[in-house]
């Protein structure tokens, strides 16, 4: 830690406190994440160390680089490249009545998928993708932050501040209590983010797990075993769920061209095994011209 000078606290997230810091020798600005550990007395779990070691190898233009891992006196600090803007802040900054340029939407969408392909090919899942952890530079590049941290440290239902972890980007298999989930959970999140870039409003903005599920069901129809084998056996599935029948996605995104709507639907398929992969999504006709 002696190499870094903390400048100011810039955030408090799911995993701990984030500081803006400078490397004393090189003067490089970095984001310093002090990881909050469940049992500080016991030190850093070996599983976390293993996961973090893998993350250091994730070098890709669309993934925020983990520059260094500092373990001192049972405290863990992760040093990341620093980017001051995120997609949520950017969307919020667009004036009322104005939309995000579709060329930029497509470019960001393509880049996010590019970063996902890289990680998914290494069997690393993000699990907590949302506009807040998609960081932007001023050259049109978007980068995924906090990759793999959900696995290394577990996703709490609440972060350590008073805010609730957002459920808006969470896949239905996770909301229904499935223990066996994989890379398709990230595809669902990216679909929600893609729609939000177009409308400037979260696609499914529930305020509880059940409200979140019902908002999804109202939009895409209530899932049944015929379309998603085994859904009725998931821990939190109830046979008393209301039976919404129609998919009304086209009404929410009336201006989205047909190819874009088809891709979005493929990313929001209920059955995770049938949901499109990042690799197939990036090669979809909608993104062919990116």
Contact status, residue 155 vs residue 128, Cβ threshold 8 Å:
yes
The C-alpha angle 289, 126, 172, rounded to 5 degrees, equals 90
Residue among 102, 95, 279 nearest 186 (CA): 279
Query: What is the residue-wise DSSP string for 165-220?
Result: PP-TT--HHHHTT-S---THHHHHHHHHHHHHHHHSS-SS--SSHHHHHHHHHHHH
Q: List, as residue ranges, the binding site for ATP.
A: 33
The pLDDT, as a whole number, for residue 160 is 56
Per-residue pLDDT of the chain (290 residues; tens, 9 = 90+): 789 999 999 988 777 889 999 999 999 999 999 887 766 666 777 777 887 888 888 899 999 999 999 988 778 899 999 999 999 999 999 999 999 999 999 999 999 999 999 999 998 899 889 999 999 999 999 999 987 777 766 666 555 555 556 899 999 999 999 988 899 999 999 999 999 999 999 999 999 999 999 999 999 999 999 999 999 999 999 999 999 999 999 999 999 999 999 999 999 999 999 999 999 999 999 998 77
Q: Which positions make up the binding site?
A: 33
According to CATH, what is the number of the domain 4-81? 3.30.200.20
Domain boundaries, the chain: 4-81, 85-287
Task: Report the pLDDT value the prediction gives residue 38, as an integer from 0 to 100.
Answer: 67
Domains 4-81 and 85-287 equal at CATH topology level: no
Q: Which residues are catalytic?
A: 128
Sign of CA dihedral 146, 151, 152, 155: positive
* Alpha carbon distance 235, 179 (integer Å): 9
Superfamily of domain 85-287: Transferase(Phosphotransferase) domain 1 (1.10.510.10)
Tokens of 224: 């049944």
CB atoms within 10 A of CB 114: 18
Model-wide pTM > 0.85 = yes
Residues across the chain? 290
Q: What is the pLDDT of residue 2?
A: 85
Whole-number Å distance between alpha carbons of 129 and 193: 9
Q: For residue 134, what are the β-bridge partners? A: 144
Q: What is the DSSP letter of 42?
A: G
């Amino acid at each position: 830690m002696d190499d870094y000078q903390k400048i100011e606290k810039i955030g408090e997230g799911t995993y701990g406190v984030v500081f803006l810091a400078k490397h004393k020798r090189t003067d490089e600005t970095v984001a310093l994440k002090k990881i909050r550990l469940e049992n500080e007395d016991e030190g850093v779990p070996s599983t976390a160390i293993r996961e973090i070691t893998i993350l250091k190898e994730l070098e890709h233009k669309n993934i925020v680089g983990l520059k260094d891992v500092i373990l001192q006196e049972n405290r863990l600090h992760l040093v990341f490249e620093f980017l001051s803007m995120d997609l949520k802040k950017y969307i919020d900054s667009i004036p009322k009545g104005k939309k995000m340029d579709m060329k930029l939407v497509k470019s960001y969408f393509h880049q996010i998928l590019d970063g996902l392909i890289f990680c998914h090919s290494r069997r690393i899942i993000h699990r907590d993708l949302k506009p807040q952890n998609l960081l932007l530079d001023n050259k049109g590049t978007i980068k995924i932050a906090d990759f793999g941290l959900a696995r290394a440290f577990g996703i709490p239902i609440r972060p350590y501040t008073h805010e609730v972890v957002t459920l808006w980007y969470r896949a239905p298999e996770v909301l229904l209590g499935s223990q066996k989930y994989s890379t398709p959970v990230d595809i669902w999140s990216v679909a929600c983010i893609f729609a939000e870039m177009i409308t400037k409003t979260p696609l499914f903005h529930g305020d509880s797990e059940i409200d979140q599920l019902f908002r999804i069901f109202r939009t895409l129809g209530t899932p049944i075993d015929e379309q998603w084998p085994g859904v009725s056996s998931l821990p939190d599935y109830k046979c008393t769920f209301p039976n919404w029948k129609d998919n009304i996605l086209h009404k929410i995104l009336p201006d989205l061209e047909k190819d874009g709507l088809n891709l979005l639907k493929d990313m929001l398929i209920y059955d995770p095994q049938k949901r499109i992969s990042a690799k197939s999504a990036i090669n979809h006709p909608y993104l062919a011209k990116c």
